[in-house]
Amino acid sequence: MEQPHRAARIEQRIHALVERRLHTQGWTPRVVPYVGYGGAGWVRVLARVLLMPPGSPRSLRTDGRGWRRFVSASASDVPVTVRVGGHTHVVPSTQDGYVDVRLEVSGLEPGWTHALLSVADAEPVEAPLRIVGPATTIGLVSDIDDTVIVTMLPRPLVAFRNAFLVREIDRRPVPGMAALYADIVAAHPDVLVVYLSTGAWNTAAALNGFLERHGYPPGPLLLTDWGPTNDGWFRSGRAHKRAQLAHLFADFPGLRWLLVGDDGQHDPSLYAEAAATHPDQVLAIAIRQLSTTEQLAQHGSLVGPDPITEPVPHAVDDATPEVWAPDGVALAEALRKRGLLPPISR
């Protein structure tokens, strides 16, 4: 095997040094659960193991300044006991403290349930799980930044302010998107909603609080980890989204997905690629168009990596419906015109 990138080797050495130092000061592992999902006979459990100081509170705050969420230390190779559906599994945390495993289980009914996660000398915590049954035929994948929440990434100063300084309670939702998703849930009560973003896992609790506060339907978050990889100094957001979409298509081959994103970065081309490679699994593509101000904030000009005038690439071959609009209200109207949402009853 090729040796990991120098940045990854440096990060591993720093992690090991920090872990040893914190252990000597009495810090102990604690599991931070994330929302997972599953199907007939299996579940995907998501969590992270962090080192916490003596006397720290049981739960993490979600309403504080953003920088507080990034002051944490991961715990690697910690055995995590997962109890779900009468089954018990023990899995180790990764180098960065993550748990992302597919486990065989049986006897879980469709709907919401939970797994119990625990580490030595700590009380179990509940990790919510959305179990998909045969009645579910539709899935919704939603981007987060500038699709459901006003973020204006990747402008560096704005990104820094939003991630590290602004409280989640002060963040603004994109107009009409919560109502659009409510319409989708009303038309398809069993829809599986998944939020896919290049944001950091450190913000998961705060994002869940934001989504709940503004009326978005619950669902798993599929986020990423900031920092170096085995291949370079920075992780690829495009590669993360591509991999997670492929994961969902493989996990649920019988579902057809509505892919919702924005044209500020690479959602249009990624979704078109998904539709081209999985034409039977992509129901439609909905793209929220950024305003002129948002485009200027992101790119310094109106021509970014995916300008607002860029159509979805023709790899879709017109087989997958696509709609573009500036907000959730207009997207809902466009989806109704394409027969993808039922008409509003008068």
25 and 54 fall within a common domain? yes
Q: What is the pLDDT of residue 89?
A: 97
Q: Among 131, 152, 179, identify where a domain stops.
A: 131
Q: What is the pLDDT along the chain (346 residues), one digit of tens a residue?
A: 455 545 555 556 665 566 566 557 668 888 999 999 999 999 999 999 988 887 765 544 444 444 444 446 888 899 999 999 999 999 999 988 999 999 999 999 999 999 999 999 888 999 999 999 999 999 999 999 899 998 765 545 545 555 555 566 678 999 999 999 999 999 999 999 999 998 888 888 889 999 999 999 999 999 988 654 545 444 567 899 999 999 999 999 999 999 999 998 789 999 999 999 999 999 999 999 998 777 766 655 555 444 444 444 444 556 899 999 999 999 999 999 999 999 875 4
| Angle, CA 123 vertex, CA 131 and CA 97 arms, to 5° | 70
- Pairing state between β 42-52 and 98-104: antiparallel
Place of tokens 């994330």: 34
The answer to whether residue 345 sits within a structural domain is no
Q: Among 115, 131, 147, identify where a domain stops.
A: 131
Looking at the structure of the chain, the number of domains it has is 2
Q: State pTM to two decimals.
A: 0.84
286 and 304 fall within a common domain? yes
124 and 223 fall within a common domain? no
115 and 165 fall within a common domain? no
120 and 165 fall within a common domain? no
Spatial separation of the C-alpha atoms in residues 51 and 21, rounded to whole Å: 11
Q: Among 99, 115, 131, identify where a domain stops.
A: 131
92 and 217 fall within a common domain? no
Torsion on CA atoms 236, 14, 118, 84, rounded to nearest 10: 20
Spatial separation of the C-alpha atoms in residues 13 and 226, rounded to whole Å: 17
CB 142 within 8 A of CB 241: no
Cis ω on the peptide bond leading into residue 154 (within 30° of 0)? yes
Instruction: Write out the chain in H/E/C secondary structure.
Output: CCCCCHHHHHHHHHHHHHHHHHHHCCCEEEEEECCEEEECCEEEEEEEEEEECCCCCCCCCCCCCHHHHHCCEECCCCEEEEEECCEEEEEECCCCCEEEEEEECCCCCCEEEEEEEECCCCCCEEEEEEECCCCCCEEEEECCECCCECCCCCCHHHHHHHHHCCCHHHCCECCCHHHHHHHHHHHCCCCEEEEEEEEEHHHHHHHHHHHHHCCCCCCCEEEECCCCCCCCCCCCHHHHHHHHHHHHHHHCCCCEEEEEEECCCCHHHHHHHHHHHCCCCEEEEEEECCCHHHHHHHHCCCCCCCCCCCCCCHHHCCCCCEEEECCHHHHHHHHHHCCCCCCCCC
Spatial separation of the C-alpha atoms in residues 101 and 89, rounded to whole Å: 10
144 and 96 fall within a common domain? no
Spatial separation of the C-alpha atoms in residues 157 and 163, rounded to whole Å: 10
CB 70 within 8 A of CB 164: yes
107 lies in which domain range?
6-131
210 and 288 fall within a common domain? yes
The answer to whether residue 343 sits within a structural domain is no
The CATH number covering residue 10 comes to: 2.60.40
15 and 98 fall within a common domain? yes
